[in-house]
Amino acid sequence: MSLKTVAVSVLVGAAGVLIMLGVSLVPVLNLAVLLWPVPLIVTGARRGVWAGVISLAAAGILVGILTGIHVGILFFTLHLFLVAGLSAGLHKKMDFFENILLSSGGVLLSILLTLKLYALMAGHTFFDALWRNVRNFASGSVVDFDRMLNMYHQLGLFKGIENSLQLTELVISQMQLLIPSALLIFSLVIGVLNLVAARQALKRLRLEAGYVPAFGEWSLPRGMGQVFLLFLLVSYLGSMMSGGSMQVVFLTISSLVSFIFTVQGISVLWFFLGAGRVPVPLRMLICIFIYIFVHMLLTLNMGLTFLGILDQTLNLRKSYRNRFLSA
């Protein structure tokens, strides 16, 4: 790389950290911190993967100077595979699903690497510290958990739990079961958000950004959707025949499949609202209303998931287009 490319990469990394720190202080907007790697990804897509990695290294050094060398190293590894993978995918003009795999897989690999480094540096795992903090919160909280537990007993709940300590351990055990699926879903969400934002940034710079379908067109490839459903069936049968680790596998796969098809269900809903010429602001309100009151409350997180599976198997949107065109 030329000296100019290195200099630009370093400046982008440093500016990205400063912008991230500024945005993190603004209420509501601080969620945009999750998209802070986008300028680094755009740099890597334009100038090559190593330009993006150099930007990230500069950002990690600046974070290390401001907070400590160990934090800087963990900051670098936490974004390494996302920046490198998505930079490579956009630079090589890979398709939408390949870039999703690179970005989401990159986020997951970065998290796992960072957790491993944290354990080596701290002498204990991140989750050991998390569970210790949960126990400390429960024991030192102003909330009277024993009184709350008595209320649950009156409602016929948690009959086998005798005190707040047992209740805390029950909560921790349930959280441990959810960690694998939470990591997968978080990686998928962050990967897709950074992909879409980086593509929009490249379009604003009038650069080729690759094709990303409109949200109303989002759908799993036919084969991929069938594979997900097959994995779900196999893991369910395995969990019925044996417990332990297979229960965790089933919970992880079912949570991931449910999330993916829920997103596809919202996409189907968005498509048909658009076909009905519903204005975008009203379309958003309707989707939020249906998600909260129909999907979450009335159907217990199954309504939109079922709609997504129905679209995957019957191809509802394609059928609608065919009837519309033939009319």
227-277 tens-digit pLDDT: 777 877 776 676 666 656 677 777 888 888 889 999 999 999 999 999 889
What gap in Å lies between CA 325 and CA 327, rounded to an integer?
Answer: 6
What gap in Å lies between CA 196 and CA 198, rounded to an integer?
Answer: 6
Residue 21 has pLDDT above 80, yes or no: yes
Residue 111 has pLDDT above 60, yes or no: yes
What gap in Å lies between CA 145 and CA 43, rounded to an integer?
Answer: 51
Predicted confidence band of residue 58 (pLDDT cuts 50, 70, 90)? very high
Pick the closest to residue 79 from 209, 187, 182, 212 (CA basis). Answer: 187
Residue 224 has pLDDT above 90, yes or no: no
Q: Considering only residues 218 and 165, tell me which one the structure prediction assigns the higher pLDDT.
A: 218
Mean pLDDT, the chain, integer: 87
Q: Considering only residues 8 and 323, tell me which one the structure prediction assigns the higher pLDDT.
A: 8
Burial 271-304 (b: 16+ CB within 10 A, else e): bebeeeeeeeeebeeebeebbeeebeeeeeebbb
Work out the average pLDDT over 138-143. 69
Work out the average pLDDT over 49-61. 95
Residue 285 has pLDDT above 70, yes or no: yes
Which pLDDT score is estimated for 268? 94
Which pLDDT score is estimated for 326? 46
What gap in Å lies between CA 274 and CA 291, rounded to an integer?
Answer: 17
Work out the average pLDDT over 59-82. 95
For the domain spanning 1-212, the CATH number is: 1.10.1760
pTM: 0.86
Q: Do 319 and 276 meet the contact criterion of CB atoms below 8 Å apart?
A: no
Residue 197 has pLDDT above 80, yes or no: yes
Predicted confidence band of residue 327 (pLDDT cuts 50, 70, 90)? very low
What gap in Å lies between CA 56 and CA 17, rounded to an integer?
Answer: 9
Q: Do 23 and 29 meet the contact criterion of CB atoms below 8 Å apart?
A: yes
Predicted confidence band of residue 2 (pLDDT cuts 50, 70, 90)? confident
CA-to-CA dists, residue 234 to 135, 178, 286, 288, angstroms: 36, 19, 36, 33
Work out the average pLDDT over 3-29. 89
Q: Could you tell me the residue ranges of all domains in the chain?
A: 1-212, 215-327
How is residue 188 written in tokens? 């998928």
What gap in Å lies between CA 247 and CA 35, rounded to an integer?
Answer: 34
